[in-house]
Every structure is written in C-alpha cells, then in structure tokens.
Structure 1
Amino acid sequence: MFGLEGIGVPAGLALTLISAGLCIWYGLKNWNVGHLTEQEDRQKQAWIQEEHKVEETL
C-alpha cells in the first residue's frame, strides 16, 4: 500500500510528522518567553555596574 512495506517506514513517517507538530507547538507556545521587561533590564544593568565596581576594588 503506497509503497510503505513493513512497519518501520510508516512508523518513521508518523514519528516525523508528530515531532514536526510538537516542534511547531513548542515554538508557538514559547514565542516571546524570556524577554526582559524594561524594569528587569534596568536592574540587570545596575547589577552589572555593581559587579564592575566590585571587580575594580579587588
């Protein structure tokens, strides 16, 4: 049937399509996750400046 002999080829095709669907779902779910807000960015910059001051005094 359709040149899909045995169980390995159809299983591989099905797993490929399922994994592609999961990758698309994961990408859409986490589209903008992890970006810093402006307040978090200012806090990060303040930590970096404080770290530089500490390193200079050492």
Structure 2
Amino acid sequence: MKEYIFLLEEPVGTREIKIIASGMMEAFKKAKEFRKSIVQDTKVKVDMMLKGVRYTD
C-alpha cells in the first residue's frame, strides 16, 4: 500500500492529510471527498495539492 500526502491550503493555514490507498485515483477521490466536506462545513475556499507518496508495508 502507499500513503499519499495532500496539502489543504485554507485561509487560516495549511493542513496535511495522509490517505492510504492502492492507487493514485483512489487516493485523489478520498482526498477530494474530504476537501468537499470541509468546504461544505466552513464555506471557505480550500486548495488541494499533492505533496508526495510514501511507500508502506
């Protein structure tokens, strides 16, 4: 499995989230859903960027 690290840039600061997935598309879909829930809750713009990938056992 791989651990995908995304940066969420919010007006108050940057948050780092880690998602464990088997592929990039799966990780991107999970991160996008997480970002969507934040935007719905706070009503602020949140930018998302891939920081990197860490390989796990």
Which structure is higher in helix share?
1
TM-score tier after normalising by the smaller chain length? 0.3 to 0.5
Report the TM-score when normalising by structure 1.
Answer: 0.39
